[in-house]
Amino acid sequence: MALFYAFIAIIRRDLLLAVRRRSEIANPLLFFILVITLFPLGIGAQPHLLQAIAPGIIWVSALLAAMLSLDSLFRSDFDDGSLEQILLSPYPASILVLAKIIAHWLVTGLPLLIVAPLLAVFLGMPTQSLGVLLLTLLLGTPVLSLIGAIGVALTVGLRRGGMILSLLVLPLYVPVLIFAGNAVEMAGSGLPVDAQINILISILCLSLVLAPWPTAAALKMSVN
Amino acid sequence: MFLIPNAVVRFFHRMASPPHFYAFTDKVMPWLMIIFVLLTGFGLYGGLYLAPSDYQQGDSYRIIYIHVPSAWMSLFIYMVMAISGAIGLVWRIKLAEIVAISSAPIGASFTFIALFTGSLWGKPMWGTWWVWDARLTSELILLFLYLGVIGLYGAIDDKRVASKAVAILALVGVVNIPIIHYSVEWWNTLHQGPTVTKMDKPSIHISMLIPLLLMALSFKFYYLIALIQRIRIELLKRERNAQWVKAKVVEQH
């Protein structure tokens, strides 16, 4: 029971900190919107072309936004020493780390879901695929946070971890991108997407169970 | 430690100590070289000269003797890297950590060679340097995983910490490689363009198969040689303040 309270306490603390520093919520969101705006400017505004590549654009942008927001996951805690306190606590580090990841997803991942339909309409995506887009984002962005946490935990001790983080994390994002992008595309042409959704669910379950372990191990190594 | 003969256990314990490893590899290296040269000689002679040319592809199929063994090695070395990384994490054996990190550049090179020869082979066969074929794409992602490992090791100054980080990353990669591979395969079957990229593979003739296996074995030996050389250099670097390294330096002069 005490573990559960610690878990909730960490989520509450991180959410409170995020509310006090609102730019942390706004930045990934603005980045997401900006990148999607750049695509029509770069490749031309033909509605057919945009409609065809809309699922890919939205998902790649979500991927990049999730990756850029990762740095804030452990950075401030690492700098002020609270990360060491978390690791020193009597509770299993992987569970507490999971709480931090969940809080981080609520702050940076969930807002993407709110603006995604708007952007989908910008790109002229068919309305029947909006629901599937939201569902894939709901299932996929937590995976991005979970896998990304491993990368951040490995690089949090470095002064210039930004570039190396993308090299570590982006290849591991490939399965999510493939299944989510494909599900949205299929939904657009009115085909069933059960298979993709099921696979996304299983990837989510797998990373929920497995990702906190290496994250905690890597954090212990980084704090050292 | 039951079931494993005592002598074997003692051998591995001694190999984990840097001076012993250094002295032992000094003795083994010439033999490894001889085996490698023989295997490569026979393999290339069999592959490039004895084996008949393919009825469809003519002589250009012969790149298989470089391409396929490299592709095998690219996966094999990643497994070695992850396993030795795990051993280093669990038992804190310095040598296992060095094996893991020394494997990374060799594995990356083999992956690159597999991709490069694949695109050379693809040009006459498929009419294009690159197709987004499932195997090509997952090989490319494997290359990125290798580069991530090398980059992470380079970015961390304390090399003992860096080795641990690399081991964790390699283990995460091992869990992900099958998922990435199947997702790419699945993606490919759905996005398959009009070009037919999948060659239906005729069962390979024995006169072509034997050189291929010889080359695969010779690549394994090449890896062993390159790995040992890298380990020796890394050992000298890390242990430069140890007595046995100083003794070695005095001996050389």
Average pLDDT estimate for A180-195: 88
B40 interface with A at CB cutoff 8 Å: no
Helix (H, G, I), strand (E, B) or coil at B54: strand
Residue A194 CB: number of other CB atoms within 10 A? 8
Q: How far apart are CA A191 and CA B234, in angstroms?
A: 55
pLDDT, tens digit, for every residue of B103-156?
999 999 999 999 999 888 888 877 788 877 777 888 999 999 999 999 999 998
Q: How far apart are CA A184 and CA A57, in angstroms?
A: 11
Average pLDDT of the segment spanning A70-90:
89
pLDDT digits 0-9 by tens, B6-37: 777 787 777 778 888 888 888 999 999 999 99
- CA-CA distance, B249 to A184, in Å (whole number)? 64
Q: Which residue of A has its CA nearest to B187?
A: A178
Name the residue ranges covered by the structural domains of chain B: 35-193+204-252
Using a CB-CB distance cutoff of 8 angstroms, which residues of chain A are in contact with residue B176?
171-172, 175
> Is the separation of the CB atoms in B142 and B75 below 8 Å?
yes
- Tell me: ipTM over 0.85: yes
Distance from CA of A46 to the nearest CA of B (A): 22
pLDDT score for B2: 58
Condensed to tens digits (0 to 9), the pLDDT of residues A129-167 reads 899 999 999 999 999 999 999 999 999 888 777 788 999
Tokens of B204: 């390979």
- What domain range includes position A187? 2-223
Name the band, by pLDDT with cuts 50, 70 and 90, for residue B53.
Answer: confident
For residue range B157-170, what is the model confidence (pLDDT) as tens digits?
A: 888 889 999 999 99
- The rounded percent of chain A whose pLDDT value lies above 70 is 100
Question: What's the total number of domains in chain A?
Answer: 1
Residue B135 near residue B121, CB atoms below 8 Å: no
Confidence (pTM): 0.89
Look at residues A128, A105, A133, A135 and name the one whose alpha carbon lies nearest to residue A117: A133
**pLDDT one-digit tens code per residue, B222-253:** 999 999 999 999 988 888 888 888 888 888 77
The per-residue pLDDT for B203 is 61
Average pLDDT over residues A81-98: 91
B157's CB contacts (< 8 A; 6+ apart) are: none
Q: How far is A221 from chain B (nearest CA, A)?
A: 7
Q: Does B242 touch chain A (CB under 8 A)?
A: no
Helix/strand/coil (H, E, C) string of chain B? CCCCCHHHHHHHHHHCCHHHHHHHHHHHHHHHHHHHHHHHHHHHHHHHHHCCCECCCEHHHHHHHHHHHHHHHHHHHHHHHHHHHHHHHHHCCHHHHHHHHHHHHHHHHHHHHHHHHHHHHHHHHHCCCCCCCHHHHHHHHHHHHHHHHHHHHHHCCCHHHHHHHHHHHHHHHHHHHHHHHHHHHHHHHHHCCCCCCCCCCCCCCHHHHHHHHHHHHHHHHHHHHHHHHHHHHHHHHHCCCCHHHHHHHHHHC
Residue pairs between chains A and B whose CB atoms are closer than 8 Å: 72
Give B171's contacts in chain A (Cβ within 8 Å). Answer: 214
What pLDDT score does A136 carry?
95
Interface of B with A in 110-139 (CB under 8 A): none
